C-alpha cells in the first residue's frame, strides 16, 4: 500500500493568502504546504482522504487518474471544499463517487453543497454518494475502520486503513479509539505548532506523546502552520516521528 501526502498544511495553508509572514520560514520547498489531503493506493483501490481547496492542483501534480472512493474526516472547509472538483472523475469514470464519513458530516456536506443533492441537484454537477461509516468496512482489498476522535467540541473521524492510521485535526483520542489504532505500522497525526497549546488541535509535542504512548514505530505529522520549519523541526523530533511534506510518498506493508 502506498500513501501520497497531497497536502500537509493547516486550515489557512502555508504560506497564508496574502503571503503574510511568508519569510518567517526558510525557502525549503517543504515549507510550502497545501491543505491536508492524502491519496492511498493499494493493489485494487485508489482512495482519497479529504478533498480540500487545492485538490485540483494536487490531483494534477500527483497524477491521480482514477478515484474509487473518498473518506472525509470532518466538514471544515479545508477538508471538503474540493468536493466539487471531483466532477472531472465523474465524467471520465462515468460513475457516482462513494464518499464515506460520519452521519453529522453527511448532514453538513448536504447543506453546504445543496446543489449537488436531492431535488436541488443541478444538471451536470458532481455526483457523489454520501455513505455513513460507523464500523469496519471492506473496500476492495482494504479494511477501513473509522476512528472517532475529538476536534475541540466536534466529534470527527480518523481512519485506519489496513496497517495505516490517519488522523487529522485531533485534540483528543478516546481510549476505545486508541485500542483500534494499536498495532498500526504507521500513524499520520496532526500537530499544529510547537507551542502554545491550542483548544482544538494537538501541538507537535502532544502528538509525539500520543504516538509514543500507542507504541507505533513510524509517525508522520501533518496540518502544521506557518511557524513550523520543516528542517529545524525534524532535527528536534525523534527519528521515528517526522513532519510529512507535500507530495511525499511512503510505502506501508
By the rule CB under 5 A, 78 interacts with Zn ion: yes
169/206 with CB nearer Zn ion:
169
Contact residue for Zn ion among 11, 126, 162, 184 (CB under 5 A) = 11
Tell me how crowded residue 179 is: count the other CB atoms within 10 A of its CB: 10
Contacts of 64 (CB under 8 A, 6+ apart): 39, 46, 48, 58
Which triple of cell numbers denotes residue 195? 507551542
Supply the DSSP string of 147-172, one letter for each residue.
EEEEETTEEEEEEEETTEEEE-S-SB
By the rule CB under 5 A, 54 interacts with Zn ion: no
By the rule CB under 5 A, 34 interacts with Zn ion: no
Q: How far is the CB of 52 from Zn ion (least distance, A)?
A: 8
Contact residue for Zn ion among 4, 38, 55, 76 (CB under 5 A) = 76
By the rule CB under 5 A, 193 interacts with Zn ion: no
Q: How far is the CB of 153 from Zn ion (least distance, A)?
A: 11
45/106 with CB nearer Zn ion:
106
Nearest to 250, CA basis, from 158, 156, 143, 161? 161
How many residues sit close enough to Zn ion to count as binding (CB under 5 A)? 4
Contacts of 172 (CB under 8 A, 6+ apart): 149, 150
By the rule CB under 5 A, 229 interacts with Zn ion: no
Q: Which residues bind Zn ion (CB under 5 A)?
A: 11, 76, 78, 169
Amino acid at each position: 500500500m502506498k500513501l501520497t501526502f497531497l497536502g500537509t498544511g493547516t486550515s489557512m495553508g502555508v504560506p497564508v493568502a496574502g503571503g503574510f509572514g511568508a519569510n518567517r520560514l526558510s525557502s525549503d520547498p517543504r515549507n510550502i504546504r497545501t491543505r491536508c489531503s492524502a491519496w492511498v493506493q493499494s493493489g485494487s483501490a485508489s482512495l482519497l482522504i479529504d478533498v480540500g481547496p487545492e485538490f485540483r492542483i494536487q490531483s494534477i501534480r500527483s497524477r491521480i487518474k482514477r478515484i474509487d472512493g473518498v473518506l472525509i474526516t470532518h466538514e471544515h472547509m479545508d477538508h471538503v471544499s474540493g468536493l466539487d472538483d471531483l466532477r472531472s472523475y465523474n465524467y471520465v469514470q462515468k460513475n457516482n463517487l462513494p464518499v464515506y464519513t460520519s452521519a453529522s458530516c453527511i448532514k453538513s456536506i448536504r447543506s453546504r453543497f445543496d446543489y449537488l443533492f436531492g431535488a436541488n441537484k443541478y444538471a451536470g454537477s458532481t455526483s457523489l454518494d454520501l455513505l455513513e461509516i460507523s464500523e469496519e468496512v471492506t473496500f476492495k482489498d482494504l479494511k477501513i475502520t473509522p476512528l472517532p476522535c475529538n476536534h475541540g467540541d466536534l466529534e470527527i473521524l480518523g481512519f485506519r486503513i489496513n496497517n495505516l492510521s490517519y488522523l487529522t485535526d485531533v485534540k483528543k483520542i478516546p481510549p476505545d479509539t486508541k485500542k483500534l489504532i494499536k498495532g498500526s505500522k504507521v500513524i499520520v497525526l496532526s500537530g499544529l505548532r510547537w507551542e502554545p497549546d491550542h483548544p482544538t488541535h494537538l501541538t507537535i509535542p502532544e502528538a509525539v506523546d500520543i504516538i509514543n504512548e500507542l507504541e507505533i514505530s513510524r509517525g508522520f505529522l501533518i496540518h502544521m502552520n506557518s511557524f513550523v520549519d520543516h528542517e529545524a523541526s525534524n532535527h528536534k523530533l525523534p527519528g521515528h516521528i517526522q513532519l510529512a511534506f507535500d507530495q511525499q510518498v511512503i510505502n506501508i506493508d
